[in-house]
Structure 1
Amino acid sequence: MRQARQQDGVISGSQAQAFGLTRRQIARLVHSGEWQYPGRGAYLLPGAHPHRSRVRAALLHRPDAVACEITAARLLAFGGLPVARPDEPVHLLLPFESARRQPNGVKLHWDDVPHAHVTDIHGIPTTSAPRTLVDMVLRRDRDDAVALMDAALRGGHLTDLTSARSLAFGRRGAAARSSWWRHADGRAESPLETRLRLLLTDAGVAPEQLQWQVRDDSGRVVARLDLAWPSRQLDVEADGTSVHGGPVALYRDRHRQNLLTTLGWTVLRFTWPDVTQRPGYVTHTVTRALATGSGQP
């Protein structure tokens, strides 16, 4: 059906009947598994968009609702988001006077949102990038919040955080999080890099440079380092499995590390479990490497 394709594979019961299907025929399609029924009078057809279709179904019969929070972040294509779980609810923002009934699979939030804070993504009303970032920051811990700030900056969703910070002013939890904004840095390429940077900064060994370029004797760039202390020729790498987990990446990383070693650099590599489960090991290792670095203090 053309209308369903225009709606990311979603069709309402009334639309299906308008195309000539009876309720019994619709029920058979659902029973056979050919159509999915997420509820709220909506049906998902084969090939439905895995994310937008669920949002459209949740918005059905709610003309005053706006996609928000992580649902909006996914629509806006924010980077650094966790992999969506099958049971992840669709987050919707509604005016205060709207009904408070929570449908299955939907998480409702209430606030008065000015039109300027809403954008259109594939025909879906969605909170703007600054508003989405603030909504998420105010509901997360510092490391997750700063990782989201970093990703929003790196992805070009925001050129700076001024607009987002102004939207946070006066909201619940904003004062306690006011110092977090200064930690943001759009050069971070992953949430793991952000967490590693914050861990080391808290320990008093903040990196001197981020994404530092190393050149060989001919002046050719041979490596770009996640966290670097050029004065000590120390490179600290955040090894996420999505980038460094495959065999090609393994050989590339070994070649790169050997090359850096021949140029006098010390290379330390840390994984997600290291940073989140063994922070003391990470800070101790980096501190010792800095104390014995080959450069001048």
Structure 2
Amino acid sequence: MVRSPFSTPPALLRQARQQDGVISGSQAQAFGLTRRQIARLVHSGEWQYPGRGAYLLPGAHPHRSRVRAALLHRPDAVACEITAARLLAFGGLPVARPDEPVHLLLPFESARRQPNGVKLHWDDVPHAHVTDIHGIPTTSAPRTLVDMVLRRDRDDAVALMDAALRGGHLTDLTSARSLAFGRRGAAARSSWWRHADGRAESPLETRLRLLLTDAGVAPEQLQWQVRDDSGRVVARLDLAWPSRQLDVEADGTSVHGGPVALYRDRHRQNLLTTLGWTVLRFTWPDVTQRPGYVTHTVTRALATGSGQP
């Protein structure tokens, strides 16, 4: 990167920090920079230009800066969908891709051209459905959840419901269900809401629970505590059948992938075995690519009392 031969005014830097590292072209000129100087900052790589007269300065927030840039000159727009979910800190979201667009919601009468890097949606949003996150207008948690549920398959939708409940964004799903009423796709998804359970700790746990429920072997308990002879809690099980002492674990790489986690899981499994429990472990590829293997193994374990396939 070739640095420009002049420095950015300190006052401009302070303003940019208050805006997650974003500055508009008009603001930059108000702080004394000429258009030529702005162009040289972009050409040198010190500033990034995502478009619409917005510039990203070094250290810009990786998510909020892109949202602020997309909102520039769109005073009636609101961050929505997965963009809003990230601002609201919903759990269980996929890792953001570099090319993930910023989702914005605009009134029906707004222009319909889809700009690069931005995905526009149109609807009339009551003020009650909008909240403020770091100064960014964002759809509320119930509205965000509904918008996402209506555009996803069942397993992803229920995982979002589970995460919203577990994260405390919603205490129940009543408000979200009411917002879905009458919208396109809501009727076909009406039965999905009853599958939600805020005790699930990951999308993999949700998918595993739904898979087994569909197969007729729904878990008896979630996050079941196992105690030793002294009454001390020694383990908390993802999906449990206490009546058969069967434990089914969802092994996501983020929690169970490292050597420390491997040691902990082995110690825990040995302890459960000494207490008479059978432990089965399934990964994301198991659940998504070999669902028959998963359901067969669990069904056989329940029928025979053995976890061996």
Normalised by the length of structure 1, the TM-score is 0.99
Distance 1:270 1:29 in 2: 51
Q: Give the alignment partner of residue 86 of structure 2, picking from 74, 97, 102.
A: 74
TM-score by length of 2: 0.95
More displaced 10-residue stretch of structure 1: 20-29 or 192-201: 20-29
Distance 1:293 1:195 in 2: 24
Contact 2:286 2:293 in 1 (8 A): yes
Divergent runs of 4+, >4 A: 294-297
Deviation at residue 103 of structure 1 after TM alignment: 1.1
CA deviation vs aligned residue, 1:211-253 (integer Å, no higher than 9, x gap): 0000000000000000000000000000000000000000000
Deviation for aligned residue 1:121: 0.2
Counterpart of 1:201 in structure 2 is 213
SS in 2 for 1:237: strand
Q: Is the alpha carbon distance of 1:80 and 1:225 closer, same or farther for their aligned partners in structure 2, counting shifts above 3 Å? A: same
1:289–1:26: structure 2 CA closer, same or farther, 3 Å change rule?
Answer: same
Name the count of aligned residue pairs. Answer: 297
What is the distance in 2 between the residues matched to 1:71 and 1:269?
A: 33
Contact 1:232 1:294 in 2 (8 A): no
1:27 aligns with 2:39: yes
Show CA shifts across 1:168-194 (max 9, x none).
Answer: 000000000000000000000000000
Pairwise CA distance, 1:296: 19
Structure 1 position 128, deviation (Å): 0.1
Q: 1:3, CA displacement in angstroms?
A: 1.1
Deviates more, 1:95-104 or 1:135-144: 95-104
Contact 2:300/2:307 (8 A) holds in 1: no
Share of identical aligned residues, percent?
A: 100
C-alpha distance in structure 2 between counterparts of 1:140 and 1:294, whole Å = 36
> C-alpha deviations, 1:75-127, integer Å up to 9, x for none?
00000000000000000000000111111100000000000000000000000
Stretches of structure 2 that go unaligned for 5 or more consecutive residues are 1-12
Q: Secondary structure at the match of 2:243?
A: helix
- Displacement, 1:32? 1.0
For residue 55 of structure 1, report the CA deviation from its aligned partner: 0.1
Rounded Cα–Cα distance in structure 2 between residues aligned with 1:51 and 1:296: 46
| Distance across 2 between alignment mates of 1:271 and 1:104 | 36
Counterpart of 1:178?
190
| Alpha-carbon distance in structure 1 between the residues aligned to 2:60 and 2:231 | 51
> In 2, distance between residues paired with 1:264 and 1:195?
27
Does the 8 Å contact 2:226/2:235 carry over to 1?
Answer: yes
**d(CA) in 2 for partners of 1:174, 1:53:** 33
User: Per-residue deviation at 1:53?
Assistant: 0.2
Distance in 2 between the 1:43 and 1:18 partners?
14
Secondary structure class of the residue paired with 2:116: coil
- Distance in 1 (alpha carbons) for counterparts of 2:303 and 2:185: 39
- Asked if 2 retains the 8 angstrom alpha-carbon contact of 1:231 and 1:295, the reply is no
Q: Aligned partners of 1:295 and 1:4: how far apart in 2?
A: 58
Give per-residue Cα distances to partners, 1:9-40, cap 9 Å, x unaligned. 00000100111111111111111111000011
Question: Any residues of structure 2 matched to 1:84-99 within 5 Å, and which?
Answer: 84-99=96-111
**Any idea what SS the aligned residue of 2:170 has?**
coil
Post-superposition Cα deviations, 1:244-291, rounded to whole Å, max 9, x if no partner, equal 000000000000000000000000000000000000000000000001
Give the deviation of 1:295 after TM superposition: 13
1:233 paired to 2:215: no
Q: CA RMSD, aligned part only?
A: 1.8
Taking the aligned partners of 1:184 and 1:236, their CA distance within structure 2 comes to 19
Give the conservation status (yes or no) of the 8 Å contact 1:232–1:295: no
- For the 8 Å contact 1:231–1:296, the answer to whether it is kept is no
CA-CA distance at 1:294 after TM superposition = 7.5
Change (3 A) 1:266 1:28: same
Contact 1:232–1:296 under 8 Å retained in 2:
no
How far off its partner does 1:142 sit? 0.1
Unpaired stretches in structure 1, ≥5 consecutive residues? none
